[in-house]
């Protein structure tokens, strides 16, 4: 993986297949289409409107400027200029494990099942620990979202059922309310074998 970043500056990460970069004006329409897809957003309360997608991009750009990390726009080199996002953001303050930095991803359906989330998230983890010096990352999702949990496990993240929680923005009887929490430390990541070539696209 190649990287260029300092806290508060615009980082760019590259892996064998992926370019993780800052957002551009032309990304809004394809990203809005991804976030409006009911299957992509199956484990969220509702798909996002165009305005909500724009607000998420604005929030993550502010995080890049302030913290040196955010949700990177992801290009699949030689195939697609935008497949979704992979990155990290500070968790909202109403969550029981706040303060923390969350690892997250969202990809268009046509790019599922190709290891893109794992490859990109591994690069984000390495950058977060090795360059920014973060001491931990978390990831959480609805308990029934087994696909995302498999990615977390492939990254070496650890699950403690005692930390699972009911999402505070959802009613207790909502089917998406039960959430699982995973954690990753630098030592957890170091124990994993290298999975991807360091050759950048």
Contact yes or no for 138/97 (Cβ under 8 A): yes
**Does residue 78 belong to any structural domain of this protein?**
yes
Convert the pLDDT of each residue in 164-178 to its tens digit. 999 999 999 999 999
**Does residue 198 belong to any structural domain of this protein?**
no
Contact yes or no for 136/183 (Cβ under 8 A): yes
Convert the pLDDT of each residue in 18-65 to its tens digit. 999 999 999 999 999 999 999 999 999 999 999 999 999 999 999 999
**Does residue 201 belong to any structural domain of this protein?**
no
Domain count, the chain: 1
Supply the pTM of this predicted model.
0.91
Q: What are phi and psi of 120, to 5 degrees?
A: -70, -40
Mean pLDDT of 91-110: 97
CATH number (domain holding residue 158):
3.40.630.30
Helix (H) or strand (E) holding 100: none
**Does residue 199 belong to any structural domain of this protein?**
no
Q: Token pair of 6, please?
A: 């300092």
Q: C-alpha dihedral over 15, 105, 83, 59, to 10 degrees?
A: -110
**Does residue 111 belong to any structural domain of this protein?**
yes
State which residues form the domain around 131. 2-190
* 7 cis-preceded (ω within 30 degrees of 0): no
Instruction: Supply the pLDDT for residue 193.
Output: 62
């Amino acid at each position: 993986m190649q990287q260029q970043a300092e806290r508060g500056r615009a980082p760019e990460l590259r892996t064998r297949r992926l370019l993780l970069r800052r957002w551009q004006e032309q990304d809004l329409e394809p990203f809005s289409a991804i976030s409006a897809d009911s299957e992509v957003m199956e484990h969220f309360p509702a798909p996002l409107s165009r305005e909500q997608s724009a607000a998420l991009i604005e929030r993550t750009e502010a995080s890049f400027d302030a913290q040196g990390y955010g949700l990177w726009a992801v290009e699949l080199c030689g195939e697609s200029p935008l497949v979704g996002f992979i990155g990290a953001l500070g968790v909202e303050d109403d969550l029981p494990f706040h303060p923390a930095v969350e690892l997250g991803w969202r990809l268009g359906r046509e790019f599922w099942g190709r290891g893109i989330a794992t490859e990109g998230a591994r690069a984000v983890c390495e950058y977060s620990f090795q360059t920014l010096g973060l001491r931990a990352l978390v990831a959480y999702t609805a308990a029934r979202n087994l696909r995302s949990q498999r990615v977390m496990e492939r990254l070496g993240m650890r699950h403690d059922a005692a930390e699972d929680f009911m999402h505070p923005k959802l009613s207790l009887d909502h089917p998406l309310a039960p959430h699982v929490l995973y954690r990753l430390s630098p030592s957890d990541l170091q124990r994993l074998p290298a999975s991807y070539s360091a050759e950048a696209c």
